Each structure stands twice: as C-alpha cells, then as structure tokens.
C-alpha cells in the first residue's frame, strides 16, 4: 500500500521534494484507523508535517479508499541516514551535524558519561503529531452485561441506561461521581457501547480530560482550532472522563465551556465522570460548576460485601475461572473499598495458584493477598489499645481472667496480633495480657489462625485490626 502511495506522491510532487522528503519515509504500521509512517530524521518529521501533511493524507486516503489518522514518527537511524541525503545544501549540513553526533561504538566504550545522552538526536523530536484529536478506544469489557448492579450503584446504573436509550433528554448532563476504582469509567463506556448498539451510526466521543487538554494544546500549536472544534462539537454524544482534572486549567475550562454549550444547546448528550461532585472540584469556574450540576449527579459508593462477591463471581465466569465460593468470600471480605484492587487480588490469587500448583484454598491464597507491609515498631500496648477500641472491650477486661465469650475471643485475637506484629516471646505476650501461660498464648494463636482461614468475617476483622495497628504504629513519632 505504501509503495502505491509513494508512486502517487511522486507523480504529484516536484522531484526534489519527493526525493528529499518523501522517498525515505517508510510505513511503520497500518491499522484500520491509523497509519504510522517513519522518517529517518526528527527535523524531517516537523517539516513533513508542516508542508506535506495534506499531500500525504489525501494520497493515503485515495489509495486506501478511506481516510485514516496519520502519525509521523522519526528515528535517527544511523544505518539509513545516507538514503536521506537531499540535494539542498542547507539540509545536507544539518544531516552532517546529525551524523557527526551519532556515537560510534568506540565512543561508547571510552566514556560512560556519554552513554546516557548517546542516543539523543541533535534536534529533539516534537511530541507525536496526528491530524485529528484522538478518540481513545473503548474497552470491550466495559459493557452493561458485565456490570454488577448493587445498592450503591443502582441509581448511577439506571441513569446510565436511560441516557444510552434516550440521549439528550432528562439527564443532561449526566455527572457520575465516586471514588477511585468504583466503576465510573466502566459505566461510561457501557453507555457508549450500548448507544452504538442501538444506533451504529451515532457519533460518540469518549475522551479523558487529559486528552481533551492535549488535543487543545496541539490545536493551538498547529493553529488548527477550527478542526479541533469541529471534532469536538460535530458529534452526537460526548463522554469526558475524570473531569476533576480540569481543575485550575483556565484555558481548558474556557474551551470546554463552549464545547459544552454547543453540544447542550443542540440537544446532544453529555456524560461526565469525576471522583467528586462539581462543587467540590477546586478552582472550577462557577459557570462550569453550575452547568455540570444542571442535569443529574449520580454517585457511586463503595459496594457492600454481596455486591463485591457478585463482581468477583462474574469476573471468574467471564474468565472461565473456577474459584471456590469460600475463597470468593474471603477475597471480597478483604478488599472493601476499591473494585480495581478487588479484581487485582483475584488475579493475583489465580496466578499464584496456577504457578504453585496448590489447591485453591483460603490458606493458600492468603499470603499473596496480604503482602507484608513496611516494617514498623509495634508494641503490645498498641495492639491492646486497638483491640479494645475496635472490638469494644475494656482494656481491664482484656487483661483479666474473665471467660465471657466476647472478652476471651478479643483476648485471643490480641495474642494472635501480638505474635504477628511484634517480636515479643510467648511468655511476654502472656504477661501483656495479665499474666497468661505461654501455652495459652500458643493455643490462642493457633485457634485464631484456623478461624481466620475458615471464616471470612474473622479474616476481615483481623485485617482491619492489623491495618489499624499499622496506622497507629506509623503515626508514632
């Protein structure tokens, strides 16, 4: 294909131009949406972009029969630099400078200090340039069928379905907010997928706030605001992820304000996601804040245990993994506040089991799920305080001989935690709990170990207590 493009360009451009700039360009990669071409020199990239981009663009479209995004990249490749020699004297000079600076193998051997900069070309390439703002591709897994609905995301889910089915009606904009890893991006992309299913011709643009900013900067630099605006405004639905990052970016806010208005006024659906509600985004222009709040703000909270288990089950199903339900329960109980981490834990457990060849049991996965933390100095007092506080037991009772169930359980847990987190000997631990025998301590530790392996609630309790102990230990001067 590229050879045909070259032939076409040869027929269209003057000989020096073709020989000098185009002939040495090679096609690097062609996908359905994008063609990456490589020129041997950084300066040639900018030159090509500035003067011959249009020619290349239309030649490619003509040969392929459809337009693609064109990326020009450059590599100072010493082997092919000779081919790039051009007739123009001034360019030749540049090339020679470039070559002269290319390190020879002997240079590399003689001087270590040169190594780090050895590969740097004389003319630093500008960031990759493309002819159009990028539509970050959608993740095929982020669809409604793979989204588990629970009490804490039900409203967001319902609103997402509604805007996918009838965009630009009641909920415009739809503002999804919730903490990290709780499913905002998944839900957003599910809207895009579903809308495209309903209306394959819909022009839908999913973009991160960062990408919007980058596209804007590129447009300003390339003096192509016109096409930037067309790209962002001539669409049916826009989804902007992590809009909280617009904070403090005055120029991006200015431009996004106009993008928003144009789309909104023509009844196009706008979907935004953020880790917090609009009024808590610092340095957000008042007019943007009020526009963001104009439609529906749907929040997603941390899912409950049942939902977390359902999420793991669904993931296991889709990935064809067979996980015993007590292991699912154990993982779901251990990871409470971030679904990405919850999924990560499952993946780690599965990987560990398949490498080790051990059966998938709580005992076997526990070590990879709760990696050891940074060493901190934990004292018996810290453990006692935390256990007393979180298990709601009097410190004096912990150290007494009371056999009341909740007290003796808490005492056993305290012994176990001391054994885990301190260097105290068994007799010392016994002492800290009001003078218990070291065999009692040993028995207690074993018992808690077993219970933790069997019962997810205990496992979660131990985890919470440990976290708290570490927190307390870390905050000590």
Which residues here bind Mg ion, judged by CB under 5 A? Answer: 185
The nearer residue to ligand ADP, 146 or 463, going by C-beta atoms, is: 146
Judge residue 82's burial from the number of C-beta atoms within 10 Å of its C-beta, 0-12 exposed, 13-18 middle, 19 or more buried: exposed
The C-alpha angle with vertex 368 and arms to 366 and 370, in degrees rounded to 5, equals 65
Q: Per-residue x/- mask for ligand ADP, residues 87 to 126, rule CB under 6 A?
A: ----------------------------------------
Give the chain's largest Cα–Cα span: 98
Nearest to 27 by CA among 37, 35, 42, 18: 37
Closer CB to Mg ion, residue 55 or residue 185? 185
Q: Tell which positions 174-233 bind ligand ADP, by CB under 6 A.
A: 178, 180-186
Out of 222, 229, 340, 348, the only residue in the binding site for ligand ADP (CB under 6 A) is 340
Residue ranges of alpha helices (H) inside 149-276 are 154-165, 184-198, 209-221, 225-233, 250-265
Q: Binders of ligand ADP among 127-156, rule CB under 6 A?
A: 142, 146-148, 153
184 is in an annotated binding site: yes
Residues 6+ apart with CB under 8 A from 31: 68
Q: Is 185 annotated as a binding residue?
A: yes
Is the CB of 146 or the CB of 222 nearer to ligand ADP?
Answer: 146
Least gap, CB of 148 to Mg ion (angstroms):
17
Residue nearest to ligand ADP (CB): 183
By beta-carbon proximity to Mg ion, the closer residue of 185 and 259 is 185
* 183 touches, from Mg ion, ligand ADP, none (C-beta below 5 to 8 Å by class): ligand ADP
Which partner in ligand ADP, Mg ion, none is near 295 (CB below 5 to 8 A by kind)?
none
CB under 8 Å to 393, separation ≥6 — which residues? 387, 406, 407, 410
Q: In the bound complex, what is the minimum distance in angstroms from residue 129's beta carbon to ligand ADP?
A: 29
Is 267 among the annotated ligand-binding positions?
A: no
Q: Which residues contact 345 (CB under 8 A, 6 or more apart)?
A: 331, 334, 335, 369
Which CB, 8 or 310, lies closer to ligand ADP?
310
Q: Which two tokens stand for residue 316?
A: 């296991």
| Residue 183 assigned as binding residue | yes
The residue among 70 and 312 lying less far from ligand ADP, judged by its C-beta, is 312
One residue of 311, 414, 418, 429 binding ligand ADP per CB under 6 A: 311
d(CA 408, CA 433): 11
For residue 57, give the nearest of 45, 67, 48, 47 by alpha carbon: 67
CB 321 within 8 A of CB 354: no
* Angle made by CA atoms 322, 306, 150, in degrees to the nearest 5: 115
Which string of x and - marks every residue 257-296 that binds ligand ADP (by CB under 6 A)?
----------------------------------------
- Phi–psi pair at 86, nearest 5 degrees: -120, 165
CB of 344: closest distance to ligand ADP in angstroms?
A: 9
Query: Of residues 19, 199, 304, 343, which one binds ligand ADP by CB under 6 A?
Result: 343
How would DSSP label each residue in 368-435? HHS---------HHHHHHHHHHHTT--HHHHTS----HHHHHHHHHHHHHHHHHS---HHHHHHHTTS
Q: In what order do the strands lie in the sheet with 174-178?
A: 204-208, 237-241, 269-274, 174-178, 296-300
**Which residue's beta carbon is nearest to the bound Mg ion?**
185
Tell the smallest beta-carbon distance from residue 54 to ligand ADP (Å): 38
Binding region for ligand ADP (CB under 6 A): 142, 146-148, 153, 178, 180-186, 311, 339-340, 343
Which residues line the annotated binding site for ATP?
181, 183-185
């Amino acid at each position: 294909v590229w050879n045909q493009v070259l032939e076409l360009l040869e027929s269209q451009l003057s000989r020096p131009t073709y020989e000098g700039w185009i002939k040495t360009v090679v096609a690097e990669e062609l996908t359905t949406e994008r063609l990456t071409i490589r020129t041997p020199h950084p300066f040639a990239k900018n030159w090509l972009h500035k003067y011959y981009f249009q020619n290349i663009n239309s030649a490619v479209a003509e040969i392929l029969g459809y337009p693609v995004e064109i990326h020009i990249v450059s590599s100072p490749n010493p082997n092919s630099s000779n081919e790039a020699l051009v007739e123009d004297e001034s360019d030749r000079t540049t090339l020679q400078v470039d070559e002269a600076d290319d390190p020879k193998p002997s240079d590399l051997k003689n001087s270590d200090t040169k190594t780090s900069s050895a590969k740097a070309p004389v003319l630093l390439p500008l960031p990759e340039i493309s002819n159009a703002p990028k539509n970050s591709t959608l993740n095929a897994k982020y669809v409604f069928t793979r989204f588990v609905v629970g009490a804490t995301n039900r409203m967001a889910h319902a609103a997402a379905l509604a805007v996918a089915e009838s965009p630009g009606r009641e909920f415009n904009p739809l503002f999804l907010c919730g903490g990290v890893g709780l499913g905002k991006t998944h839900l957003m992309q599910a809207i895009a997928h579903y809308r495209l299913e309903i209306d394959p011709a819909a022009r839908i643009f999913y973009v991160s706030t960062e990408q919007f900013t980058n596209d804007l900067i590129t447009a300003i630099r390339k003096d192509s605001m016109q096409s930037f605006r067309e790209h962002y405004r001539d669409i049916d639905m826009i989804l902007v992820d992590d809009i909280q990052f617009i904070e403090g970016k005055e120029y991006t806010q200015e431009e996004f304000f106009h993008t928003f208005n144009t789309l909104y006024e023509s009844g196009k659906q706008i979907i935004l996601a953020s880790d917090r509600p609009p009024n808590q985004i610092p340095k957000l222009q008042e007019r943007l804040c009020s526009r963001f709040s104009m439609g529906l703000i749907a929040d997603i909270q941390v899912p409950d245990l049942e939902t977390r288990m359902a999420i793991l089950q669904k993931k296991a199903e889709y990935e064809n993994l067979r996980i015993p339900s007590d292991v699912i329960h154990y993982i779901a109980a251990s990871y409470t506040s971030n679904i990405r981490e919850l999924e990560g834990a499952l993946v780690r457990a599965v990987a560990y089991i398949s490498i080790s060849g051990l059966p998938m049991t709580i005992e076997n996965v526990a070590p990879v799920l709760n990696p050891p933390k940074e060493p901190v100095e934990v004292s018996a007092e810290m453990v006692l305080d935390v256990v007393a506080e979180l298990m709601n037991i009097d410190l004096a009772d912990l150290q007494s001989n009371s056999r009341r169930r909740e007290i003796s359980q808490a005492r056993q847990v305290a012994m176990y935690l001391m054994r885990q987190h301190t260097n105290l000997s068994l007799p010392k631990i016994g002492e800290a709990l009001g003078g218990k025998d070291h065999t009692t301590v040993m028995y207690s530790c074993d018992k808690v170990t077993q219970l933790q392996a069997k019962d997810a609630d205990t496992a979660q309790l131990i985890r919470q207590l440990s976290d708290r102990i570490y927190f307390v230990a870390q905050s000590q001067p």
